[in-house]
Amino acid sequence: MMKRNRIFIIVCAFVLSMAMLFSACGQSSTDWMTDAVNDYEAEVTGQGGEAAPAGSEETPEGAEDALSAFAELYSDPDATYVIDYDAMFKSRNPEEVVMTVNGKEVSWNEYFYWIRYYAEYIQYYMDMYKYYGMDIRWTDPADEEGTMTLADSVTTDAKNHMVSICTIENYAEEVGFTLPEEIEKQMEADIRADIAEYCGEGATEEDFDALLRETDYLSLDIYKRYSRINYLYQNLFNVLYGENGEKVSDEDALKYLEDNSYMRANHILFMTIDPATGEALDDDTVAEKLALAEKTAAELRKIKDTKKLLKRFSELKTKYDEDTGKAAYPDGYVFPSGQMVAEFEDGWKSLADYEISDPVLTTYGYHVMIRLPHDPDATVEYSDEGTALNARMKYANSAYSDLLQERMDNADIVLSDSIIGFSIADFLVEAPEETAEDAGE
């Protein structure tokens, strides 16, 4: 596992860097499984939620062939099955071209890698379901509409992933983009560092290639290709929009906010609950909070000069605001409809720009609000890595996703005869006894 970490990191870094693209494309064919597991866990722990069905009594449309292939395997309801990846990989020549995307070739080695990736992803959730007493099988529907089986979804997602990879390469060629020399040197340095770390000092590319094939059925050439695509993806974004969206115009950023019904407001919160316990404060304390909120609103309303109003609002916010999110959003919130509690959103809608509200009561307490006009540089949200994202970056992410998705939708995809009808059903085998026991833990 230690050897595989870096190998998996670079491929997963590519997957993660493309999250913006796939988020714009909607859910993958198996994302519903994540939601269903979470809902079921909530139900059995008494925290609400509805369990998703383990399967369907009816045969999903288009799944007859898959059901037939699996019928014999699943004749024993107590058996545990695993995918024989080694047999699957050896079923074809690794260099065989199994598909093309606008002329860009995809080898069986690459296609297999993503089949394995998505199959292991689904297997993880199968194990999660089994933990909660739910029997999920490869013949079960992969989506809520029942349009394909879980087995079908593996090859579909693998194909779509290769389409996305080829789309990035094709787009770079289309616009004549090549990576800067310093990036090329960085990639070479990364490879040398990986060889030294995982194969030892003095090891060669041939040694690293052998390790990759042994641990992940992955050639060094493919490893290099994915590293390059990762850099292409990010650097193309930077050229088009700027690393932090700084090339996006005010007009485009503001239009993004308007088109997506974003609102912007700052507030001073006088909490009427204990933030540690969520318990309501006593009546006398609540009355004091309301009186202070009314006094604050009255003072702010008297200020007619916008600059002075904003300055004084900031001072009073520093003094009184009890919002736990004020450190991350000191200048207020930019939010879409439905994100805030209804009372807060309704309060915003009742105001004109720079108007001060009466104290607005929500489950958190009393809010003295000021409605603010949109600012393309105001923080909208934070990324998973903690990076502040403003409207320019939000627009850039959306526009880049749309640009690539349009090319994916219109791509000329040709599958080879040998890959049409491919199914993981042909490579499911009954697990050895110890593996079956482990799977049931």
Q: Which domain holds residue 309?
A: 252-375
Q: Is 264 a member of any domain? A: yes
Question: Is residue 293 over pLDDT 60?
Answer: yes
My answer on whether 26 and 92 are in the same domain is yes
43 within some domain: yes
Q: Are residues 229 and 268 in the same domain?
A: no
Per-residue pLDDT of 205-216, as tens digits, reads 999 999 999 999
pLDDT beyond 80 at 295: yes
DSSP 23-44: HHT---TTHHHHHHHHHHHHHH
Same domain for 232 and 276, yes or no, is no
CA-to-CA distance for 429 and 424, rounded, in angstroms? 10
Q: What is the pLDDT of residue 323?
A: 94
pLDDT of residue 141 exceeding 90, the answer is no
Residue 62's pLDDT is 40
Question: 229 and 337, same structural domain?
Answer: no
CATH code at position 284: 3.10.50.40
Residue 390 within a domain: no
Q: What is the 3-state secondary structure (H, E, C) of 92-145?
A: CCCCCEEEEECCEEEEHHHHHHHHHHHHHHHHHHHHHHHHCCCCCCCCCECCCC
| pLDDT at 351 > cutoff 50 | yes
Per-residue pLDDT at 47: 42
Q: Are residues 262 and 241 in the same domain?
A: no
| Domain end point (choices 325, 355, 375) | 375
Q: For residues 111 and 240, state if they share a domain.
A: yes
pLDDT digit string, tens, across residues 154-183? 999 999 999 999 999 999 999 999 999 999
- pLDDT-based confidence at residue 78 (cuts at 50, 70, 90): low
* pLDDT at position 379: 95
* Mean predicted lDDT score pLDDT of the chain: 84
pLDDT in tens, 364-408: 999 999 999 999 999 999 998 899 999 999 999 999 999 999 999
pLDDT at site 391: 97
Question: Residue 23: CB partners within 8 Å, gap ≥ 6?
Answer: 401
Give the model's pLDDT for residue 144.
Answer: 82
Same-domain status, 256 and 228 = no
Residue 358 domain flag = yes
Q: What is the tens place of the pLDDT at every residue in 45-76?
A: 344 433 333 333 344 344 444 444 444 545 55
Query: How far apart (Å, rounded) are the C-alpha atoms in residues 193 and 152?
Result: 38
The mean per-residue pLDDT over the stretch 311-325 comes to 95
Considering only 67-81, 265-279, 295-309, which range has the smallest mean pLDDT?
A: 67-81
Q: Are residues 232 and 349 in the same domain?
A: no
- Cα-based angle 317, 323, 325 (whole degrees, multiple of 5): 110
pTM, two decimals, is: 0.78
Digit-coded pLDDT (tens) for 195-206? 999 999 999 999
Q: Name the 3-class secondary structure at 20.
A: helix
Q: Are residues 179 and 237 in the same domain?
A: yes
pLDDT per residue over 110-137, tens digit each?
Answer: 999 999 999 998 988 888 888 788 888 8
Q: Is residue 388 part of a domain?
A: no
Q: Based on the fold, state whether residues 257 and 208 are members of the same structural domain.
A: no
Give the containing element (helix H, strand E) for 70.
helix 64-71
Residue 364 and residue 218 share a domain: no
Under the banding of pLDDT at 50, 70 and 90, the label for residue 3 is very low
Residue 9's pLDDT band, with cuts at 50, 70 and 90, is very low
- In a shared domain, residues 341 and 204: no
Question: Domains in the chain: how many in total?
Answer: 2
Q: What integer pLDDT is reported at residue 148 of this predicted model?
A: 86
- Residue 389 resides in a domain: no
Is residue 9 included in any domain, yes or no? yes
Give the neighbor-by-neighbor strand order of the sheet with 413-415. Answer: 104-107, 97-101, 413-415
187 located within any domain: yes
